[in-house]
Amino acid sequence: MTDNNVRRQVLYSGIQPSGRIQLGNYIGAIRNFVLLEKDYDCLFCVVDLHALTIRNLPADLRRQTMELAALYIACGLDPKQSIIYCQSHVPEHAELAWVLNCYTYMGELSRMTQFKDKSSRHKDNINAGLFTYPALMAADILLYQTDLVPVGADQKQHLEITRDIALRINGLYGDVFRVPEPYIPKTTAKIMSLTEPERKMSKSDEEDSFVAILDSPDVIRRKFKRAVTDSLADIRFDPDNQPGVSNLLSILSATSGTGIDALVDELAGRGYGVLKERTAEAVIEQLKPVQDEFARLMKDKAYLADVLKENAGRASVLAQRTLRKLYKKIGLYQP
Ligand code: TRP
């Protein structure tokens, strides 16, 4: 965080340490975070408390938390500048979430599509945390007087409820929270599933449908070889009629930096095999520096632990400010 007189806008993002980060997250989100660091005071959180809303093996959760922190750094984010930290290390998140729960209505929470979706997919574990998930997410964002939150379509509703809660409390007690806005990235390459190119690429689908950031070159080649195309035998960018081929072109363009039109010209008359190979190699090349740096960081657990500890301290100082102000305004006696 910079200390000059002009306040830079605060940008906040969180990722759950559950499952693997895939190419769509990388191209659509994390890769662009590096550019945001220049313009905003950024916080990148490993939201481990949110991950408790589904059952994890403790050892998996611990490892995935370390891995996600390492991945943020491996992608080029600077933990001296941005605050890269772990949610459970900053107790103010859970404290604020409780208060926000008391200003959030059952009706609002019942309307959340993510709750409806997750509770229908995990019928055996519809816990209260899953229901109040949005209040914890609102706490993450509001604690830091956040201006901007990069959100994909699936998280828009959560940002909306965050704004509603902030406005409600500000309305009752005067300005406590800055009301955050969505940050819509300029480049929006949407990465689709390799096996069902009508659907968004997702780590919760079958293994061959997505590329994980940490997949080896061989696995990446195999997945692209198996990617679904069509029988038109013509390389064109036409997502409606040729979703598979168009998705490969999008991925190739996003990873090679060459525009889609130029790629279509260049590959005209070539087979889909060539397109798949070219795309696989571009992805491998793009991910290589990230994978190398990730491997190096994972060997240096002491460094990662230090970074997380120091950054939790930086986050806590900011979070305390907001929490103290709120406690005072709502009438919690503070000696
Ligand atoms: N709910 C987000 C997701 O599942 C993760 C998240 C938690 C988050 N807290 C956040 C995202 C704060 C942005 C800001 O993707």
CB-based contacts of 126, cutoff 8 Å, min separation 6: 119
Average pLDDT, the chain: 94
Average pLDDT, integer, range 270-292: 97
How many domains does the structure of the chain reveal? 2
Q: What is the distance between the alpha carbons of residues 315 and 249, in angstroms, rounded to a whole number?
A: 40
Identity (one letter) of the amino acid at 52?
L
Predicted confidence at residue 189, as pLDDT, reads 77
Same domain? 82 vs 155? yes
Q: Are 174 and 12 in contact (CB under 8 A)?
A: no
Here the tokens at position 295 are 């491997």
Q: What is the distance between the alpha carbons of residues 228 and 194, in angstroms, rounded to a whole number?
A: 6
CB-based contacts of 291, cutoff 8 Å, min separation 6: 74, 213, 214
329 catalytic? Reply is no
Predicted confidence at residue 185, as pLDDT, reads 75
Average pLDDT, integer, range 163-175: 98
pLDDT in tens, 28-44: 888 889 999 999 999 99
Same domain? 92 vs 176? yes
Q: In 3-state terms, what secondary structure has residue 321?
A: helix
Same domain? 165 vs 32? yes
Q: What is the CA(294)–ligand 1 centre distance, in A?
A: 22
Looking at the DSSP assignment, which residues form a beta bridge with residue 189?
none
Same domain? 280 vs 307? no
Q: Is 191 in the pocket of ligand 1 (CB under 6 A)?
A: no
Residue 231 forms part of a structural domain: yes
Same domain? 34 vs 121? yes
CB-based contacts of 118, cutoff 8 Å, min separation 6: 53, 54, 130
- Please state which of the ranges 2-6, 46-50, 297-301 shows the lowest mean pLDDT: 2-6
Q: What is the distance between the alpha carbons of residues 297 and 263, in angstroms, rounded to a whole number?
A: 35
Same domain? 284 vs 147? no
* CATH number where 217 lies: 1.10.240.10
Residue 196 forms part of a structural domain: no
Count of Cβ atoms closer than 10 Å to residue 66 Cβ:
18
Residue 4 forms part of a structural domain: no
pLDDT exceeds cutoff 60 at 195: yes
Same domain? 44 vs 116? yes
Same domain? 23 vs 88? yes
Q: Output b/e per residue, 187-201; b: 16+ Cβ within 10 A.
A: eeeebbbbbbbeebb
Predicted confidence at residue 184, as pLDDT, reads 83
pLDDT exceeds cutoff 60 at 4: no
Q: In 3-state terms, what secondary structure has residue 335?
A: coil
Predicted confidence at residue 248, as pLDDT, reads 97
Residue 267 forms part of a structural domain: yes
Q: Are 64 and 18 in contact (CB under 8 A)?
A: yes
Residue found under tokens 């007690």:
173
Identity (one letter) of the amino acid at 258?
T
Reported as a pLDDT band with limits 50, 70 and 90, residue 60 is very high
Residue from 86, 115, 155 to probe ligand 1 pocket by mutation (most atoms less than 8 Å from CB): 155
203 catalytic? Reply is yes
Reported as a pLDDT band with limits 50, 70 and 90, residue 140 is very high
Q: For the chain, what percent of residues have pLDDT higher than 70?
A: 98
Same domain? 151 vs 236? no
Predicted confidence at residue 121, as pLDDT, reads 86
118, 190, 325, 329: which is the annotated catalytic residue? 118
Residue 114 forms part of a structural domain: yes
Nearest CA to ligand 1 atom 12: 14
Task: Give the chain's end-to-end CA distance (angstroms, integer).
Answer: 30
Expressed as residue numbers, the domain containing 63 is: 10-188+301-330
Q: Is 137 in the pocket of ligand 1 (CB under 6 A)?
A: yes
Q: What is the distance between the alpha carbons of residues 187 and 181, in angstroms, rounded to a whole number?
A: 18
190, 200, 325, 329: which is the annotated catalytic residue? 200
Reported as a pLDDT band with limits 50, 70 and 90, residue 1 is low
Question: pTM to 2 decimals?
Answer: 0.92
Q: Is 12 in the pocket of ligand 1 (CB under 6 A)?
A: yes
Helices (H) and strands (E) in the chain, counts: 14, 5
Q: What is the CA(230)–ligand 1 centre distance, in A?
A: 36
- 224: part of which helix (H) or strand (E)? helix 217-225
Q: For the chain, what percent of residues have pLDDT higher than 90?
A: 87
Alpha-carbon torsion (63, 64, 66, 71), positive or negative: positive
Q: Which atom of ligand 1 is nearest to the CA of 16?
A: 5
Q: What is the distance between the alpha carbons of residues 205 and 274, in angstroms, rounded to a whole number?
A: 26
Q: Is 141 in the pocket of ligand 1 (CB under 6 A)?
A: yes
Residue 193 forms part of a structural domain: no
Same domain? 252 vs 325? no
Residue 194 forms part of a structural domain: no
Here the tokens at position 111 are 């309307």
Reported as a pLDDT band with limits 50, 70 and 90, residue 169 is very high
DSSP state of 12: E
Q: Is 155 in the pocket of ligand 1 (CB under 6 A)?
A: yes
Here the tokens at position 248 are 């490969």
- Please state which of the ranges 130-139, 183-192, 281-290 shows the lowest mean pLDDT: 183-192
pLDDT exceeds cutoff 70 at 294: yes
37 phi, psi to nearest 5 deg: -55, -30
* CATH number where 165 lies: 3.40.50.620
Predicted confidence at residue 335, as pLDDT, reads 87
pLDDT exceeds cutoff 60 at 129: yes
Nearest CA to ligand 1 atom 9: 137
Residue from 15, 47, 88 to probe ligand 1 pocket by mutation (most atoms less than 8 Å from CB): 47
Residue from 11, 16, 52, 149 to probe ligand 1 pocket by mutation (most atoms less than 8 Å from CB): 16
Predicted confidence at residue 153, as pLDDT, reads 83
Angle between helices 272-298 and 243-256 (to 10 degrees): 50
- Rounded to 5°, the CA angle 94-89-158 comes to 45
Nearest to 290 by CA among 212, 224, 214: 214
Reported as a pLDDT band with limits 50, 70 and 90, residue 6 is confident
Same domain? 173 vs 314? yes
Residue 21 forms part of a structural domain: yes
Same domain? 59 vs 153? yes
